[in-house]
Structure 1
Amino acid sequence: MKKWNWREGQRARRRHGHRHDWHRGDRHRAQDEPRYGHNEAGPSFRASQRSSDEDQSSSSSSSKASSAAPELPGFYFDPEKNRYFRLLPGHNNCNPLTKEQLQEREREKQRSKMLTEDDKARKKAPRAGLNTSLLLQKRQLGLLPENSYCRLVHEVKVSGMRRHRLEVQSTDNSNPNTDNFRLIVGDSACERVFTVNDVSHGGCKYGIMNFSGCSKGSLSVEMCDNLYFTNRKVNSICWASVSHPDSHVLLCLVGMADTPGCVSLLPASLFSNSNPDQPGMLCSFKISTAWSCAWCLNPQADKTFSTGLSRRVIVKDAETGRTQTYSVSSDVLAQQFALRVPVLFNGCRSGEIFSIDLRQRGRRDHSWKASRFHQESAITSVRILQDENYLLAADMLGQIKLWDVRVMKAVQQYKGHYNEHTYLPIHVNEPEGLLLAVGQDCYTRLWSLKDGHLLRTIPSPHPAAKDLIPSVVFSSQLGGRRGLPGLLMAVKHDLYYFPYNTDYQEGGEQQAGC
């Protein structure tokens, strides 16, 4: 039997004066036609060449046919094979072909293509006509202010970053890391990075990696001796300055079964056997189901931290144990303290963003909310800029907005971020004028903080998965004072470095040049 061809059918109907695709008689004839089985290909889709189309090339006719291919219920059109295939239901077949699999295949194809482009030495400029030579020429002619020149140079450098895999040194080199990274958080100097890894038998382990850089931009990584294991989930992390800057780490641990949740304040020296100093203050607070935490660096609220819980905010003094509880109407998923004043900004599951002035502790009503505004979905991250009149907020609709806190109005939006239901942080680097975020699709995106222009999209080195979302750290001096700006990415059990300098050397060569 001759297979049905939709293009010939359309032409035949036009010759007979039919204006509609289906009539009653056509439907009866369609019911009499035998249907295709599960393992057979669907209707063929090959462009027939008629006398009026003989002067056109076969390539143009096939591309035109594929672009005009109609959607048929229960079938999908493969443009490469130029034909229809049947979509299987997925519950009664060993090798089902579903829309989800087709979409995943397309995403993986796109990721592989972007990885190939990313490995090339010359990359696409972040803006049209933007390159280092042109910027330098404009600067020398006085056509470009210094601030704009520095910002645009950083944009060019970011577009040229290339991926390098880092080898993590450890005292036990016979036991390499095979546990997937879940979260990495750098300290203020980016010489240490606190890591959380998922353990295969359940729970997680956490520790500290030490980074050291040299003037040529090379980076070495060493894992601390002591790793701590827990059967509880780590919800949130932040560095705390108790005895000196970044002396401790604040952890929010979720309870599991008979093990209650808590908030632990751990000294960073606890993770190294070679440190002769005393571990310092070590304490744990019985605070269950803490979604977020933040440490205050303002002298008026010294050694104070906060935790965001279900419909509550707890502010506690780590030394005296004094506690202040604020009741709110939603779960608090994100927090950060301002530096100049003791004000805590909170982001809620309801989309509300509000601030708490710790100097108004005596008020029992909601007048302690210094400012209050909303986004359309659950807030996953809040970041205060150095000006402290502006705040960045990201939500579970993939929206990232810059808010003017004084007028409680969004003044800038950063488009392209993808998130539907995942707790994802955002990262700000004001010296370079950059905003970074990793999406639920496992792509790392960088925007210009000033105008919201998307500068670069970095694909994950591994196939996208819900449990393989990369965690990143960006710093102006990654590895300390001798380091250079760069991006650190942890995904699966691998660690990658994206340096500014294009002549980065891996292995022993980089150590010899330091």
Structure 2
Amino acid sequence: MRPELPGFYYDEEKKKYFAIKGPIPGSKPSSSSRTKQNPEPKPFQEPNYQKRNKLKALKLLYSRELSGCVIPVNKKKCNFKEEIEKTQASNPVAWRYESTENIGDAALKQLEIDIQTSQGLVRKSILVAGSTGGCLSILRVFRAGQVLVDEPETQAINGGIECDAVSVLPRKANDAEEREAPRVIWRPARSHLQALSSISSIQLIRRYDASEDSHCVKRALITTLGSTGRGSIFLLNLAEEPYILTLRSLQGNVSSECTIWTADCNISGSHAAIGSDLGAALVDLETGAGSYFLRSKSDVLALQFHQSGNIVQCGLRNGAIVSVDLRERPGRPTPTLTKHHLRNPSSSKTSQNTLKKEWFELKGNINPSRVIYMPSSLTCLKTLKTYDQYLMASSMDGTIKLYDQRMVKRGVAVQTYEGHVNSHTRIEFGIDPSERFLMSGGDDCYTRIWSIKSGQLLSENKFSNTVPSVVLWSDVERKTDWNDSIVHGAWLGSREAIFSMF
């Protein structure tokens, strides 16, 4: 007699074992037969995009070993380094730093600086953070694993607190090990300064150092929004501790009864441009003397110096972007501003019964034919350093576009970045140092990364419960596990906390 096998029966005619269909007698019921009222909790599963990117990264490595730096991707020849960076941008990691709430939601700047201490000159990495509540914080940044007690100013550091880094992206499984943050934030004692109103911008003042043949940073320009139209300009001394914040009194025809929305410093560190509800003004940082180079009834919400130092690009509340030439025209001994009448970009969207003006007036040295119009109020604008003719701008309706300033007469953007969400928040986007990726937070609390060249949305993740309103790509670099390539990290500021992303 044939022995019995669980789950099989023996056919005497065919002289073979066959599997018994259906459940095996005495066996445990399958998971599909369990009742739906008491389902077992599903184990953590990685999102599909993470699995796809990990698989793609392995295929890229194999292709590089076989083909070298130029590899075939989707029937095209592509650079391995660029493709692996795109894969990493599609699968970022992020950490939240505890005890950093309500200190970095308005502005963030990071710099390396030699600070005079009792032990002599000490090289430090500093993160300057400003909040909408008027708090200005100077934080220390350390590399992971750097021993704090080895610092010369140990006693000063011991008076502060270390901000614990908590991994928030990707969401870890219950049995997964939490990743260690590559950077550590330390809040020294007595490192907070309180302004009278919301911090509107932080700009580093760079001075040329002939001994080192480079530009160094020893001061920062701080502007406040102002309460009841009384914005202020402060100078922050970063070369010595304790840090001193001194008010920069303005002279000339620049009114102190204005709201200061933004500011920028030229590359030599001699002058600053400020954007207000009365227009844009140029201020001498040594004497405080200033004068308006653009007068407008529409607030200047965003501005920046062009790399040449002769042009300031201003973004207005009504959606217009104008480039103002600071050079005086020959034959005009008195500095007068030329009056221009431009079509209001929002006039076509209003009905004929409204009292909306079809034209608005500007005074300044501008070319009306080269004005760019965004759909709504400007929130941020930046030019690419490698190609300074390309201007990227965002507006409060969620539009982000890249323009070629040589083709603005056609009124068509070179690239549009879809997926951004905004309705009323002043959000500052960030461009990585290699100028390959664009990162921005949204009104929906998501953080998104795009490819600047293709406009492709590479990733969107929500790890903050408040709007990530500030993005700062840092120059701190780290090597990756894939090869010896370099990846730049980014700081993100929100009311909930300061975040670090790689």
Question: What's the TM-score bracket when you normalise by the shorter of the two chains?
Answer: 0.5 to 0.7
Determine the structure 2 residue equivalent to 1:473.
Answer: 472
After superposition, the C-alpha distances for 1:14-60 in whole angstroms (9 at most, x for unaligned) are xxxxxxxxxxxxxxxxxxxxxxxxxxxxxxxxxxxxxxxxxxxxxxx
Determine the structure 2 residue equivalent to 1:455.
Answer: 458
C-alpha contact 1:290 1:307 (8 A) present in aligned 2? yes
Q: Flag structure 2 segments of 5+ consecutive residues without an equivalent.
A: 1-41, 114-124, 146-179, 209-214, 251-255, 330-334, 340-363, 480-484
Report how far residue 221 of structure 1 moved. 1.7
> How many residues in Structure 1 have an aligned counterpart in Structure 2?
361
1:335 aligns to 2:265 (yes or no): no
Report how far residue 266 of structure 1 moved. 1.8
Higher strand share: 2
Aligned with 1:222 (options 171, 182, 186):
186
Q: For residues 289 and 139 of structure 1, what CA distance do their matches in structure 2 show?
A: 58
1:204 aligns to 2:169 (yes or no): no
What TM-score does the superposition give when structure 1 sets the normalisation length?
A: 0.61
1:346 aligns to 2:317 (yes or no): no
Report how far residue 403 of structure 1 moved. 0.5
C-alpha contact 1:151 1:432 (8 A) present in aligned 2? no
Specify the code of the residue in structure 2 equivalent to 1:353: I
Q: 1:116 to 1:179 in 2, by over 3 A?
A: farther
Report how far residue 242 of structure 1 moved. 4.7
C-alpha contact 2:103 2:129 (8 A) present in aligned 1? no
Report how far residue 368 of structure 1 moved. 1.5
What TM-score does the superposition give when structure 2 sets the normalisation length?
A: 0.63
Q: For residues 251 and 126 of structure 1, what CA distance do their matches in structure 2 show?
A: 43
C-alpha contact 1:314 1:324 (8 A) present in aligned 2? yes
1:295 aligns to 2:265 (yes or no): yes
Aligned with 1:140 (options 68, 71, 74):
68
Q: 1:321 to 1:492 in 2, by over 3 A?
A: closer
C-alpha contact 2:135 2:195 (8 A) present in aligned 1? yes
Report how far residue 473 of structure 1 moved. 2.4
Q: 1:432 to 1:402 in 2, by over 3 A?
A: closer
C-alpha contact 1:314 1:323 (8 A) present in aligned 2? yes
Determine the structure 2 residue equivalent to 1:394.
Answer: 394
Higher helix share: 1
Q: For residues 45 and 128 of structure 2, what CA distance do their matches in structure 1 show?
A: 31
Query: Secondary structure at 1:156's aligned position in 2?
Result: helix
Report how far residue 179 of structure 1 moved. 4.1
Q: For residues 352 and 435 of structure 1, what CA distance do their matches in structure 2 show?
A: 22
1:322 aligns to 2:289 (yes or no): yes
Determine the structure 1 residue equivalent to 2:105.
Answer: 182
Q: For residues 79 and 321 of structure 2, what CA distance do their matches in structure 1 show?
A: 32
C-alpha contact 1:207 1:224 (8 A) present in aligned 2? no
Report how far residue 157 of structure 1 moved. 1.6
Q: Flag structure 1 segments of 5+ consecutive residues without an equivalent.
A: 1-112, 168-175, 500-514
C-alpha contact 2:234 2:246 (8 A) present in aligned 1? no
C-alpha contact 1:127 1:455 (8 A) present in aligned 2? no
Aligned with 2:205 (options 240, 244, 249):
240
Determine the structure 2 residue equivalent to 1:405.
Answer: 405
Determine the structure 1 residue equivalent to 2:376.
Answer: 377
Query: Secondary structure at 1:323's aligned position in 2?
Result: strand
1:265 aligns to 2:235 (yes or no): yes
1:446 aligns to 2:416 (yes or no): no
1:153 aligns to 2:84 (yes or no): yes
Specify the code of the residue in structure 2 equivalent to 1:435: L
Query: Secondary structure at 1:441's aligned position in 2?
Result: coil
Q: For residues 163 and 327 of structure 1, what CA distance do their matches in structure 2 show?
A: 42
C-alpha contact 1:238 1:250 (8 A) present in aligned 2? yes
Q: 1:265 to 1:158 in 2, by over 3 A?
A: same
Report how far residue 290 of structure 1 moved. 0.9
Report how far residue 156 of structure 1 moved. 1.2
Report how far residue 448 of structure 1 moved. 0.4
Determine the structure 2 residue equivalent to 1:71.
Answer: none
Determine the structure 2 residue equivalent to 1:162.
Answer: 93
Report how far residue 180 of structure 1 moved. 5.5
Q: Which moved more, 1:121-130 or 1:242-251?
A: 121-130
Aligned alpha-carbon RMSD (Å): 3.8
Q: 1:472 to 1:364 in 2, by over 3 A?
A: closer
Q: 1:412 to 1:338 in 2, by over 3 A?
A: same
